[in-house]
């Protein structure tokens, strides 16, 4: 599907904030990663002029989801891809994209935006994670 190559014109501040988010991710504790995720949400929400979503780590969150009525991103554990994906849903519901509401088109858009941003910021890491089957919706043949 080549989701990771669909978007390529990201705001430079978004790219920089995402680089800061990813810095030392594997070495940091879960608590440190959550702090970095919240900081990223605040920065990037300001860039896209939306109300920044709150972040909540919830064991029963599955892969993660965006709660519209609370403007809240929920996930079972800190995940960069999930954060980027659910943030895109926040953008959709706050009318900062051409796609609004839950639909297959909105899900496809969030998937492409998040994977494209990750790939833009850390292409080697992205390719490694795809090869390890840690990135959904991208196959090694797509690289």
Q: Which tens digits make up the pLDDT trace of 88-130?
A: 999 999 877 777 666 688 889 999 999 999 999 999 999 999 9
User: Does 46 map to a domain?
Assistant: yes
User: Does 139 map to a domain?
Assistant: no
Q: For the whole model, what pTM was predicted?
A: 0.92
Nearest alpha carbon to residue 135 among 81, 54, 94:
81
- 53 band by pLDDT with thresholds 50, 70 and 90: very high
Q: What is the pLDDT of residue 140?
A: 83
Strand, coil or helix: 143: coil
What is the span of the domain harbouring residue 15?
Answer: 8-123
**Which residues are within 8 A (CB) of 143 and not within 5 positions of it... i.e. 6 or more apart?**
127, 130
Q: What is the pLDDT of residue 34?
A: 95
CATH number at residue 112: 3.30.2010
- 25 band by pLDDT with thresholds 50, 70 and 90: very high
**Domain total of the chain:** 1
**Which residues are within 8 A (CB) of 97 and not within 5 positions of it... i.e. 6 or more apart?**
88, 91, 109
**Is residue 61 scored above 90 in pLDDT?**
no
Q: 46: which 2 tokens?
A: 């300001």
User: Does 68 map to a domain?
Assistant: yes
User: Does 73 map to a domain?
Assistant: yes
- Using left for φ > 0, alpha for ψ between -120 and 50, and beta otherwise, residue 103 falls in beta
Q: What is the pLDDT of residue 84?
A: 98
């Amino acid at each position: 599907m080549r989701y990771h190559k669909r978007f390529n014109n990201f705001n430079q501040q978004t790219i920089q904030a995402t680089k800061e988010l990813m810095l030392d991710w594997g070495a940091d504790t879960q608590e440190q990663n959550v702090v970095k995720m919240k900081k990223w949400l605040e920065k990037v929400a300001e860039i896209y002029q939306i109300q920044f979503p709150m972040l909540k780590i919830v064991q029963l969150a599955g892969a993660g989801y965006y709660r519209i009525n609370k403007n809240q991103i929920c996930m079972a554990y800190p995940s960069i891809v999930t954060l980027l994906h659910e943030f895109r849903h926040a953008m959709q519901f706050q009318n900062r994209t051409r796609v609004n509401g839950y639909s297959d088109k909105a899900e496809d858009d969030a998937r492409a935006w998040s994977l494209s941003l990750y790939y833009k910021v850390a292409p080697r890491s992205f390719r490694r994670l795809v090869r390890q089957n840690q990135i959904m919706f991208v196959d090694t043949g797509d690289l």
